[in-house]
């Protein structure tokens, strides 16, 4: 059977920012630990510490961790200086993987956003476990609470996310100064654009005749939150995978590869 390769997407009429991704495969990538006052206020921090980097064993590849440094509430602090200046993230999403050795301090499972004017917003998240848990936090007003305990007004929320001064992912999950908490695969995604560019896919074939392998690799599409991999056999298309990464490998029969394509998604 002849082999063909194809990919598809939708053209976009203007620049769209790509997601920011911290995978920690090569190092901490600017992330630090910030000690925050227990129970709040959660900004500014009362102490700053380094993180430990691990080259393997993460949610995917490398990851960072920290042993609880004090009796305050420690958190992982995003390097917000890496964010494009003035970019509003309202309507986007924050993705990450988290785990902790202890689950005895349950009152501060939070993501905290601090704006340049001093406003602090808190979003409750599920307690992490000793295994990696995947989190998807929609950057929408309903997900957050301000100092009054109420969701911020939509216009105000949009304004605040355009002037972020700090983003903290709380790591305090032990009742004593005892726990080690780890973080991996952080993605800060802008709001979905109306249209997406088409992924430009490179196809590499490797393996053996008995166990062939096909690797699909593409550059991240600005605004995409995930990618669907499609395969057509005998003229019928079917989705074989959805992935947040910009690569995918499969091992089809060498004489029946069919057609392959990748489409960008934001949903």
Running DSSP on this structure, what letter comes out for residue 182? E
The pair phi, psi for residue 49, each rounded to 5°, is -135, 160
The ranges of the chain with pLDDT < 50 are 1-16
Chain mean position to CA 58 = 13
In this prediction the pTM is: 0.78
pLDDT, residue 12, reads 28
Side-chain-side CA neighbours of residue 267 (13 Å): 9
Which class for 1: exposed (0-12), middle (13-18), buried (19 or more C-beta within 10 A)? exposed
Which class for 131: exposed (0-12), middle (13-18), buried (19 or more C-beta within 10 A)? exposed
pLDDT, residue 18, reads 60
pLDDT, residue 240, reads 87
Integer Cα distance of 145 and 80 in angstroms? 21
Domains recognised in the chain with CATH numbers: 20-189 (2.60.120.260), 201-265 (2.60.40)
pLDDT, residue 213, reads 82
Side-chain-side CA neighbours of residue 238 (13 Å): 7
Closest to 239 in 3D by CA, of 267, 213, 260: 260
pLDDT, residue 255, reads 55
Integer Cα distance of 163 and 113 in angstroms? 10
E strands, 37-80, are 47-49, 52-54, 63-67, 73-77
206 contact partners, CB below 8 Å, separation of at least 6: 212, 213, 215
pLDDT, residue 261, reads 87
């Amino acid at each position: 059977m002849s082999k063909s390769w194809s990919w598809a997407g939708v053209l976009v009429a203007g620049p769209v920012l790509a997601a920011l991704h911290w995978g920690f495969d090569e190092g901490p990538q600017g992330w630090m630990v910030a000690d925050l006052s227990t129970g709040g206020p959660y900004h500014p921090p009362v102490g700053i510490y380094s993180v430990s980097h691990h080259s393997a064993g993460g949610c995917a590849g490398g990851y960072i961790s920290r042993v609880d440094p004090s009796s305050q509430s420690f958190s992982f602090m995003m390097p917000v200086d890496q964010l494009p200046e003035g970019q509003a993230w309202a309507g986007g999403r924050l993705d990450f993987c988290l785990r902790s050795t202890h689950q005895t301090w349950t009152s501060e499972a939070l993501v905290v956003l601090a704006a340049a004017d001093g406003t602090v917003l808190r979003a409750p998240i599920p307690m992490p476990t000793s295994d990696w848990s995947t989190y998807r936090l929609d950057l929408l007003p309903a997900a957050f609470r301000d100092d009054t305990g109420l969701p911020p007004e939509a216009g105000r929320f949009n304004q605040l996310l355009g002037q972020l001064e700090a983003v903290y992912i709380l790591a305090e999950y032990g009742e004593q100064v005892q726990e080690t908490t780890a973080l991996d695969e952080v993605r800060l995604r802008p709001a979905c654009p109306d249209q997406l560019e088409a992924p430009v896919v490179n196809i590499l074939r490797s393996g053996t005749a008995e166990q062939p392998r096909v690797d699909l690799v593409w550059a991240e599409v600005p605004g995409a939150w995930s990618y669907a991999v499609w395969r057509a056999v005998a003229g019928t298309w079917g989705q074989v995978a959805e992935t947040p990464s910009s690569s995918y490998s499969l091992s089809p029969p060498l004489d029946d590869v069919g057609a392959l394509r990748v489409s960008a998604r934001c949903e």
